[in-house]
């Protein structure tokens, strides 16, 4: 089996994917938080992403990387800078220096969160981040392109929606992805022979989707789950929102209102 480094493995997505990848890959798990419930074919390597040498030690000898590590939500600039920009640069550079060609980067829907919900966007749109967090994910995508084009690495960026066993609200009916569907996308990024640099949307087969995921489909992605199966119960439980609410107009939801100045709806 290939040995895959999964950074940020102590988090929720990492926990889901450890189960999905059991028996498929040998997993080297990394985080600042120790993981003690190691299973068969799992090892743990601590690493702080802000220290290049520690990241190089974690990447050395693996066949591919799924990079989940970093700040997973909006935060102050120093936190985002250290975890998602310096840390992300260190991950790519460590992979280059240790000869790891395959990297799957956990990007986010918040890299494009200021697109409207009444339009369907593809993978090639210009990033319109809704937050410092979203901007850091757009940076990660750009760095992936740089390392693919300049250094010959093979990079897949997945703009993840919301990973859960089922969608929790109306917004997530559009962006939800089940753990097994995300595992399939990550495996395409790790294993498909023709990857150079690609962007996929991390969503299941969602009828109410705002994203055209044909780029993932052309690489063989076949989502197994549908948000529409949960739609009736989700919509019945959710109170209607006020007209003109930016969190209902834009894809990024509440992220677009964080520290908003002026009228974000204007000229959009």
Catalytic residue annotation: 133
Q: Rounded to the nearest 5°, which phi and psi values hold at 236? A: -65, -30
Structure tokens at 185: 């996308």
d(CA 70, CA 15): 15
């590590």: which residue's tokens? 69
Q: Which of 108, 112, 97, 107 is nearest to 55 (CA)?
A: 97
Report residue 123 as tokens. Answer: 């993978």
| Strands laid side by side in the 42-46 sheet | 42-46, 26-31, 3-7, 64-67, 102-108, 154-160, 197-202
8: left (phi over 0), alpha (psi -120 to 50) or beta: left
């Amino acid at each position: 089996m290939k040995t895959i480094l999964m950074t940020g493995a102590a988090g929720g997505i990492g926990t889901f994917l450890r189960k999905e990848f059991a028996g498929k890959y040998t997993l080297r798990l990394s985080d600042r938080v120790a993981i003690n419930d190691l299973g068969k074919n799992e090892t743990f390597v601590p690493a702080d992403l802000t220290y290049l040498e520690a990241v190089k030690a974690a990447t050395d000898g693996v066949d591919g990387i799924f990079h989940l590590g970093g700040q997973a939500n909006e935060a102050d600039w120093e936190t985002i800078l250290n975890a998602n920009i310096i840390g992300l640069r260190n991950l790519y550079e460590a992979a280059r220096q240790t000869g790891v060609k395959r990297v799957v980067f956990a990007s986010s829907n918040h890299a494009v969160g200021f697109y409207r919900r009444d339009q369907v966007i593809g993978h090639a749109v210009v990033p319109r981040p809704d937050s410092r967090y979203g901007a850091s994910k757009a940076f990660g995508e750009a760095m992936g392109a740089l390392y693919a084009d300049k250094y010959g690495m093979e990079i897949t960026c997945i703009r993840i929606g919301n990973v859960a066993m089922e969608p929790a609200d109306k917004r997530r009916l559009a962006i939800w992805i089940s753990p097994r569907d995300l595992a399939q996308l990550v495996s395409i990024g790790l294993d498909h022979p023709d990857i150079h640099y690609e962007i996929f949307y991390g969503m299941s087969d969602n009828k109410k989707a705002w994203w055209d995921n044909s780029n993932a489909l052309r690489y063989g992605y076949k989502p197994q789950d549908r948000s529409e199966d949960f739609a009736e119960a989700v919509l019945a439980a959710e109170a209607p929102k006020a007209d003109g609410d930016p969190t209902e107009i834009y894809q990024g939801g509440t992220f677009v209102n964080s520290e908003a100045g002026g009228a974000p709806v204007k000229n959009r």
